[in-house]
Amino acid sequence: MIKTINLPDIGEGVVEGEVISWLKKVGDKVLQDEPVVTVMTDKATVELPSPYPGFLSKIFVEEGAIAIKGKPLYSIETAETPDSEFKEQETLKNAPKEKVQVAKDEPKVYASQEGTLKATPDVRQIAKELGIDLREIQGTGKEERITLDDLKNHLQKKRKNQDISSSKLSDDKLVPLHGIPRLMAEKMALSKREAPHFSYFEQIDATRLCQLKDNFKKAGSKENIHITFMPFIIKAVSLCLNLFPNVNSTLDMETKTLRVHKHHNIGIAISTDQGLLVPVLKNVETLSLEKIIRSYDELIKKAKANKLEPSDLKESTVTISNFGSFGGSGRWATPVINYPEVAILALAKIQKQPMIKQDTIVIREALNISWSFDHRVVDGFLAAHFSSAFRNYLENPAQLI
């Protein structure tokens, strides 16, 4: 009997996923609950197990293609006798059926603030994804509404106007984006489109922080715990979020509301064999510095061993990127917000730099930090006070204990 397996519900709000790799070939034997395919969504990369034993009889979605929730992904040929004639297609356990709503009326037409630009929502969405300014297009529809044909014609004209000789491109290599690189490209583009970024820079005297870390490092070596600066940074960020909770939020422009999150879920951008990942240390506001050190060490070890669970990559509210750990000597950055968060912190490498203390130039261990904020939520006043509080915690690190 042939059992057709649909893409299940693998996360809140997830409606599609990219097939990264098939772990079985057509004709291979498959055990019940044995992983068959790896699928990556905008939230996590997961291996999907087969709900039935048998043989892989058909693959509906090739590697690199997009699978849709509730649509066929693969089929399994089982040896069982069908219980009834009407059960021709099975989905994974607990996968809910999608509701399809049929529009009864014509699509709504929306005008711009000036009241002259009109386009249907689908046209606006496509234009937004392609980075096209609808003001450049003359609508030919009813009441000069911009139609899909108008959008297509505009794209064709733009391509014709591009004075690029195909001979110049003949030796270029086209590399398809799959997996994490494609997901990263989509998320970064979305962030820059939706959130008006602005950056704020600060230099911190990290001399005392280095001393405190060394003290913890001696104790941590006995328990095989790798002590870095990151747990201290995470603790300081959380303490600042207590003082300025609006930085720990997401903005919903449709409902015109700001969701201020109760928990401090700190995402840490790290480089792995799979690419850039952002595992999340959750409920940091409830953790002591010692607990953060242990939890962070466990999380990073899981990431390096490719053993992260989907839940480890979800629900971050603020992200930290330590570009200084990559070995570069750069001192500042303008990081891209991990949308829909409203703040991200980038850390340079701690290194000796000249500082002025009581009108005297001294050499200190300096940490250069770069913030990026969503200007719709965080203004310059809030950014300055938030960063100043962060600097105070790190320059007086006894407050972190």
User: In terms of DSSP bridges, do strands 343-347 and 318-321 run parallel, antiparallel, or are they unpaired?
Assistant: parallel
C-alpha to C-alpha distance for 315 and 265, rounded to whole angstroms:
7
| Pair 249, 260: CB distance under 8 Å | yes
* Secondary structure of residue 29 in the 3-state scheme: strand
C-alpha to C-alpha distance for 245 and 202, rounded to whole angstroms:
20
Spatial CB neighbours of 254, under 8 Å, sequence gap ≥ 6: none
The secondary structure of 266-329 as a DSSP string is: EEEEEEETTEEE--EE--GGG--HHHHHHHHHHHHHHHHTT---GGGGS--SEEEE-GGGGT--
How many DSSP H helices and E strands does the chain contain?
8, 20
Instruction: Read off the amino acid at residue 133.
Output: D
How many Cβ atoms sit within 10 Å of the Cβ of residue 6? 21
Using alpha carbons, select from 248, 282, 266, 269 the residue that is nearest to residue 321.
269
Of 154, 264, 375, 385, the active-site residue reads: 375
For the chain, give the number of residues: 401
Kindly list the strands in the beta sheet with 29-30, ordered across the sheet, starting from the edge strand earlier in the chain: 2-6, 72-77, 54-59, 29-30
Q: Taken in order 324, 329, 331, 333, is the CA torsion positive or negative? A: negative
Residue 375 bears catalytic tag: yes
C-alpha to C-alpha distance for 393 and 263, rounded to whole angstroms:
20
How many Cβ atoms sit within 10 Å of the Cβ of residue 57? 16
C-alpha to C-alpha distance for 171 and 313, rounded to whole angstroms:
39
C-alpha to C-alpha distance for 35 and 331, rounded to whole angstroms:
44
| Residues marked as catalytic | 375
